[in-house]
Structure 1
Amino acid sequence: MFFPAITMFIAITFPFFGGLLGFFGGFAFAPTTYFLSCVMWLAIYKPKRFILSWFTNWICIILGFILMILSPIEGVRNIILKAKDYEFHS
């Protein structure tokens, strides 16, 4: 009960909460979901090169890496744009 109340207060108070989620999500969500899991699967199972599962994993690795780079950049951009006219509890 306490954690959702604090999270709700922060989300209501700061208009750039979505930018913060994008910023931190790019560092945590993209690597653990797309990038690292595919790299570990390739390291453990060692599939033959140029088969469907090998291509699929490499596509997920590349897309996850792009997401890991672009999401924090967009999150910071969003924070900067919204912080220009930010007024506390407005």
Structure 2
Amino acid sequence: MFIGITFPFFDGLLGFFGGFGFAPTTYFIPCIIWLIMRKPAKYSLSWLMNWCFIIIGMLLMLVSPIGGLRQIILDASKYKFYSYSDPA
């Protein structure tokens, strides 16, 4: 509760750090491991799909922290320490 009261922009922090931790472990590291272990033929459907997912995961890893940082900046600009403000 103390963290939620002290840092009301906690959702932005989760998006910021989640982009670094969640995207790699969910999207592109498993694809890279699969490519290393299975060694599919180059330019086959599974090879292309895995590379597409790797690229999408890398983009998410870059875009998510940017969005989280933007949310933190917007929330912090109207933040008053230990005061309740209506989010609407």
TM-score over 0.5 for the pair: yes
**Shorter-chain TM-score category?**
0.7 to 0.9
Show the counterpart of 2:64. 71
Q: CA deviation at 1:88?
A: 2.3
Structure 1 unaligned blocks of 5 or more: 1-7
1:29-82 per-residue CA deviation (whole Å, 9 max, x = no partner) reads 001111111111101110001222111111110000000001111111110111
CA RMSD in angstroms, aligned pairs only: 1.3
Which blocks of at least 5 consecutive residues in structure 2 are unaligned? Answer: none
Give the whole-Å Cα distance in 1 for the aligned partners of 2:42 and 2:72: 42
* Length-normalised TM-score, structure 1: 0.83
Alignment of structure 1 residues 7-46 onto 2, 5 Å: 8-46=1-39
Counterpart in the other structure of 2:47: 54
TM-score (ref. length: structure 2):
0.85
How many percent identity over aligned positions? 61
As a proportion of its length, which structure holds more helix?
A: 1
